[in-house]
Amino acid sequence: MDKMYLNQLGIVCSAGSTKQQVIDSLKTNKLCLSKSQQYSRSKELMLGLYHGELPDITLEQPHWHTRNNQFAQLAALQIAEQVEQAKLEFGSHRVGVIIGTSTSGISDNEPLIKQWALDNEMPDEYNYQAQEMAATADFIANYFAVSGPVFAISTACSSGAKALASAQRLIELGLCDVAIAGGVDTMCQLTVQGFSALEAVSEEQCNPFSKNRKGINIGEGAALFVLSKKAQGVALEGVGESSDAHHISAPEPNGRGAIACMEQALKSAKLSAGQIDYINLHGTATALNDQMESIAVNQVFGGSTLCSSTKSTTGHTLGAAGAVEAGIAWLLLNTEDSSAWLPVHHWDEVKDETLPALNFVSNQHKIERAPRYILSNSFAFGGNNISLVLGKII
């Protein structure tokens, strides 16, 4: 089996809209979350909102003009050179697009749906195509004028990482030579109020793995990669996927699914647990997820591997989370910065004694060398789990 590579990254989230901005936010422990009541009926929530400028959509049809597609276009601009090179080398029909999302363009249709409910008449501007799950994948394919396989993945919080795994398989099967893959999700009332109904959101900055954790900070973001067999960028060393199907929203409490996908990812990468230098935890700061993940990580890696959750910087970007956090791993592995560093785990440092101990990255840690291998976890509703192992090209 040929090794797959993540050749280039485009990223946008509350931490920034360029790779360097995201690096700077993580290195300086910048507070990137903000209070807002825009998406909540009752109270201000801490959200991972992107406040920067977004590009005008270049495609003419009205259904393309959504905030989700603006995020996608902003990330796409950062990988455009590599996509054009791929089209010249292989042909546009050999470039595929796989995008993970959970909201698509629903935020732009929400006011129109509300108007419909109040007036009992469909507004003329309403276009269902804007919120179809594959809308952003189709948009990117049209934006780049590529005609390989195009589809969307919607497995909640594992969607963005699942898109990378699917892209790897498409290339291995010979269905395309290059894939544009990742995740895009933007803020909307549907998700904010849905998670609020589950009593899973926090009004304060999230506090993963703390005894005082109170839930997630929902975020928005996009991360797009160019995948190919060309040894450039960062290696996608291993992928592990599992489905524990324990409950529609709660994870299996003993972490069986999470353990299975981490072990499978290590086996796929032909690595031992001791060779992983850093784990980007799913780390949502909900009671059940943090309990499950700490048990699973401790069982597979013990309590010494350095780890952190970066959701206190980006928020939980839902369908984009697996791609955004793979993007953070990519930045750590593909930097020319000679200083060794890892993202600090932001929390109040009040340990939950009922959880197995993990080795969270702190400001007191002296990182001796840049990481060689990173594992990134994404765990979703229904026990839909994925772990990715990314490696530095030596």
Q: Distance (Å, rounded) from C-alpha 44 to C-alpha 35?
A: 6
Q: At residue 331, what is the residue type?
A: L
Q: Which of 181, 385, 393, 390 has the alpha carbon at shortest distance from 266?
A: 390
DSSP string, 226-243: EEESS--SEEEEEEEEEE
Nearest to 92 by CA among 83, 100, 79: 83
282 a catalytic residue: yes
CA dihedral 47, 53, 57, 58 (to 10 degrees): -150
Q: Is 93 a catalytic residue?
A: no
Residue tagged active-site, from 13, 32, 261, 316: 316
Q: Which of 239, 206, 179 is nearest to 317 (CA)?
A: 206
Told to judge if 157 belongs to the known catalytic residues of this protein, a careful annotator would answer: yes
Amino acid at 384: N
* Integer Cα distance of 354 and 151 in angstroms: 42
The number of residues making up the chain comes to 394
In what side-by-side order are the strands of the sheet with 178-185?
150-153, 95-100, 178-185, 221-228, 4-13, 234-243, 384-392, 373-380, 278-280, 306-308, 359-360
Residue in 157, 206, 261, 307 annotated catalytic: 157
The Cα 103–Cα 133 span in angstroms is 7
* E strand or H helix at 328: helix 321-333
Q: Determine which one of 63, 282, 345, 346 is catalytic.
A: 282
d(CA 316, CA 248): 19
What are the C-alpha distances in Å from 78 to residues 19, 21, 39, 87, 224? 9, 13, 29, 16, 9
Residues marked as catalytic? 157, 282, 316
